[in-house]
Amino acid sequence: MKHSDITFSGKSGVKYRFQAWSLDTRFKPLAAVYIVTKRAQDSSTYNRASHDSIYIGQTANLADPFATESQFDCFRKHGGNCICIHLIEDEERRIAAEDDLLALHSTHCNQKQRINRLFDVATEQRAEAVRGKVEG
């Protein structure tokens, strides 16, 4: 079931417009950045909803499973009931948008991904430092 659209901003200030769908939606094979959220409707108007970000990711094919069983367990634990999608065909742009969103939004289920990225950055920085000493 499709819900209303929502805009999420990245750390860079770029605003990304997402389509909000129920988490059990089956998609066509489309490339996208996605945010799994806990969507709650405002009971006074039913026209507005709030979204608590649970997981931010990207995929080349929304028709494929976009999470592991342990990630789905984390989504359920935190009340995940909505997936917001922003279609981007180009892989580099998808990864950049995902990184931009992760840099600003805290999520419940991206911790391991963040640690791995920090480790990758630190490893690359050490490798550059070693190359600089060897070349210098």
Residue 62 has a CB neighbour count (10 Å cut-off) of: 20
Q: Which of 10-14, 108-112, 117-121 has the lowest mean pLDDT?
A: 117-121
* Apex 105 CA angle, 119 and 111, nearest 5: 35
Token representation of residue 94: 């998808």
Per-residue model confidence as pLDDT tens digits over 74-89: 888 999 999 999 999 9
Per-residue model confidence as pLDDT tens digits over 38-68: 988 766 555 677 888 999 999 999 998 877 7
DSSP 80: -
Closest CA to 86 of 38, 31, 36: 31
List the beta strands (DSSP E) in the chain: 2-9, 15-22, 32-41, 49-59, 82-87
Helix (H) or strand (E) holding 63: none
What is the rounded (10 degree) CA torsion for 105, 69, 34, 10? 20
Provide the mean pLDDT of the chain: 83
CB-based contact 82:37 (threshold 8 Å) = yes
**AA letter at 26:** R
Closest CA to 102 of 10, 15, 8: 10
pLDDT value of position 3:
83
Q: What is the reported pTM?
A: 0.78
CB-based contact 77:36 (threshold 8 Å) = no
